[in-house]
Amino acid sequence: MTLADYFPILTWGRGYNSETFINDTIAAIIVTIMLIPQSLAYALLAGLPPQVGLYASILPLIAYSIFGTSRALAVGPVAIISLMTAVAAGKLAVQGSAEYLAIAIILALISGLMLLVMGLFKLGFIANFLSHPVISGFITASGILIAVSQIKHILGVTVSGHNLVDIGHALIVNIPNTNIPTLMIGIMSIGFLFWIRRQLKPLLIKIGVSERLAIIGTRTGPVITVAASIFAVLIFNLEGQGVKIVGNIPKGLPQIAVPGFDLALWISVIGSSLIIAIIGFVESVSVAQTLAAKKRQHIKPNQELIALGASNLASAFSGGYSVTGGFARSAVNFDAGAETPAAGGLTAIGIALATLFLTPLLYALPIAVLAATIIVAVMSLINIADIKQAWRYSKSDFAAMITTIIFTLSIGVEAGVMTGVILSLAMFLYRSSKPHYAIVGQVRDTEHFRDIKRYDVITSPRIITLRIDESLYFANARFLENMIYEHALKTKQIEHVILMCSAVNDIDLSAVESLEAINEKLRTANISFHLSEVKGPVMDKLKKSHLLHKLTGKVFLSQHQAIDALCINAFDIDIEYHL
């Protein structure tokens, strides 16, 4: 590993020129305009002061521009991580308190440390424990939960709870307390934002705007809603009519400080931090890979762990909370023409200038508008098509997805993730403990061997070949024994059993011992046990065992070679299976 592998800025920075700088600057300006209301909205979702969302969009972007390998990824607060932060911090402190903010910062710090360690030790594979159905189910349920949690701001009522049951019940109870002006602002904002998302792009293209600019205009549309709502509050004195506004947002850059260390507190949030870290990494690397593929670029997942870890540490040290790569902002960054991670650094400068000079202009921004922004943004997370596809494709995957959704909605996000992971691992162990296998025969006039249930093949009454389609390990070792005994001992004609290992990529000690037991039991029945098409790494392990010395048969390079050697005359091959 070279220094440039850990600091990708040393690679792309060599070719940086004025033209690249101009493209990155244009992209940064557009993303900055988008991020200001979005950062405020996600801080609201996390239960934090609005300026914390801005703080989490400054130093993390600079850290990623130094360590990240994606040319377009933009890190910062996102909906799901904000929700998870609110859930984790809400268990230990009251929203709005200093303790609550401190916990949110510590969550970012611990998550960052975990991601950094995972990256340095190349542990990115840990994220693989979250299967696609589990991730999809979790994201869909989180989208529903986030949208429902923001209805209280649309109604202008006070509601608490971290699952659909509690939030739903509280909303129903508080409907009579709805503030009508707030409701009108919320509904109009949602309607306008949906119109922007669905109709603005075709309209802009129709009047002659390029598709690229139309896409950018559509994704920065919330700024129009923010500006219009601020004017409405000021002109009609809506604050005096009970409309809740953002209020005073402190001016100035975040102060750099080391979060306090409280061992008991750190231990209490370490589980939540791990979940936030893994979910954040999965979301970030998925976005990065999607955008990189469009330009035939390459990202390094383990380095992305380091970059995301550094970004979270930077957020924690500057008074922010957990961050990750967001699809919406990254897509805008990509569409706006960002060529290098420097666009993120320039965006950070833009956000920093906003915190210095623009925050007074946001005083009269209705919280209902921020809630509307969140609701419209998370609608894209709710993917019913994935649920339908899972039902059609695999009932077990569907079960994992639905279970994750149910637990996330009824208990909470952490319970949903953990349930999904446990269920996925359980189903994997179950499937691999009973792997697919086939009795195979030779396809006529070829050297190919296929399943006798699917093809017209030729077999010998003296020989039975079983192909196992899974690596062999402790969970399926006993299944392998029973399967071979069942087929090899059911008739006295069988003289040879061949285990075709073309799909076996690995074998552990338990499976080797099972092969030795099979060899011994078949020997007592006067049946020779052979292996064919054993891969190199598997053969290396077998050579370290006693199996090859005790094997009653041989190890053949190919299945065709095995049949040629064992069928000593044409009369040996006399049974043909038909479909």
Could you report the per-residue pLDDT of 367-410, keeping only the tens digit for each? 999 999 999 988 888 888 889 998 998 888 888 889 999 999 99
Please count the structural domains in the chain: 2
**Residues in CB range of 296: below 8 A, 6 or more apart:** none
Q: 575 has which bridge partners?
A: 459
Number of Cβ atoms within 10 Å of the Cβ of 354: 21
pLDDT of residue 578 exceeding 50: no
479 & 507 share domain: yes
Per-residue pLDDT tens over the stretch 28-77? 988 898 888 889 999 999 999 999 999 999 999 999 999 999 988 999 99
d(CA 519, CA 552): 7
* Cβ–Cβ under 8 Å, residues 65 and 9: yes
139 & 247 share domain: yes
d(CA 548, CA 544): 9
Q: 463 has which bridge partners?
A: 496
Question: Which residue blocks in 383-494 are alpha helix, DSSP H?
Answer: 384-393, 395-410, 413-433, 474-488
Model pLDDT, residue 568? 59
Percent of the chain with pLDDT over 70: 98
403 & 441 share domain: no
197 & 237 share domain: yes
196 & 321 share domain: yes
Residue 329 lies inside a defined structural domain of this protein: yes
Model pLDDT, residue 380? 83
Give the chain's mean pLDDT: 90
Range of the domain at 140: 3-425
Q: Look up residue 206 and give its two tokens.
A: 């129709």
d(CA 452, CA 450): 6
Q: 451 has which bridge partners?
A: 440
414 & 336 share domain: yes
411 & 453 share domain: no
User: Which amino acid belongs to residue 392?
Assistant: R
pLDDT of residue 485 exceeding 60: yes
554 & 407 share domain: no
Residue 496 lies inside a defined structural domain of this protein: yes
Model pLDDT, residue 577? 45
- Last residue of one domain, picked from the residues 368, 391, 425: 425
pLDDT of residue 85 exceeding 90: yes
Strands 575-577 and 463-468: unpaired
Residue 430 lies inside a defined structural domain of this protein: no
* Cβ–Cβ under 8 Å, residues 152 and 45: no
d(CA 207, CA 303): 44
- Last residue of one domain, picked from the residues 367, 400, 425: 425
244 & 106 share domain: yes
Here the CATH number for the domain that contains residue 474 is 3.30.750.24
Per-residue pLDDT tens over the stretch 508-529? 999 999 999 999 999 999 999 9
Between 497 and 206, where is the model more confident? 497
Between 547 and 425, where is the model more confident? 547
Model pLDDT, residue 452? 92
Phi, psi (5° rounding) for residue 261? -110, 120
Residue 235 lies inside a defined structural domain of this protein: yes
Per-residue pLDDT tens over the stretch 146-194? 999 999 999 999 888 878 999 999 999 999 999 999 999 999 999 999 9
362 & 463 share domain: no
176 & 239 share domain: yes
Per-residue pLDDT tens over the stretch 339-373? 899 999 999 999 999 999 989 999 999 999 999 99
